[in-house]
Amino acid sequence: MKKILIITFALISTLSHSQERDFEKPNYKKIKKNIKKKNSNLYYNSLMTRFRNSDSTMNLKEKRHLYYGYTFNKDYAPYSGSNYRDSITPLLDKEKLDSLDLTKCIEFADAMLLHNPFDLNAMNYKSYALEQMGNITDYKKLYHQAITIYDAIFSSGNGKSRKEAFYVIEISHEYKVLNVLGFQWGGSQSKIESYDYLTLAENEWEIEGLYFDVSPALSVLSDMFD
């Protein structure tokens, strides 16, 4: 399988319709406080259970607390990778996967998601395998999980400037945002304070690049070297 099919979504372009959308930067201090309230709908354990159950009734506030709240989880490690990623690589190099390969792909992807529930690469691998196996029920469940993540990200900004940056909790999510919006990476990535700036290949909107706030990941990186 030379190319992984990216999950596609019926999304209105955040960039071309930015004037019609209200964006809100995540208030990490407030989110940290809210997700600790056990009797609240924002209690983190409850949110994660709903997410793993592919609950499509979560509202935007709950999705934002789930996604950005993960930065306060003891397992939040944006720069660590799963050993199962190496196991799945040989499968991805195949032109075509048989039923056993597809089953293994799902098993490895599930292991990656157990390590990191917001691993969008693992979701892509698993969605491809589920689609090829005709397992539409589980494919739709995975779809709702991915939508939850993207809804949170797209609520934070449009990426056109540092003031309107997308807020992400992992560097890899920057590139997935490009995929979903239909852009191709222009080949250059630069760090500007707490922001990442990715250049874009030529596109019909004539947008040169997008900004991403990656402050939680940078904070983890800083702690690693303290």
The pLDDT tens digits for 79-108 are 877 677 778 888 878 888 899 999 999 999
Q: Is the pLDDT of residue 134 over 70?
A: yes
Looking at residues 174-180, what average pLDDT do you find? 91
Q: How confident is the model at residue 15 (pLDDT cuts 50, 70, 90)?
A: very low
User: Which three-class secondary structure state does DSSP give residue 219?
Assistant: helix
Q: How far apart are CA 220 and CA 199, in angstroms?
A: 25
Q: Where are the alpha helices (DSSP H) in the chain?
A: 28-34, 44-52, 60-69, 84-92, 99-115, 120-133, 136-154, 172-181, 215-224
Cα separation of 190 and 145, whole Å? 30
Residue 191 has pLDDT above 60, yes or no: yes
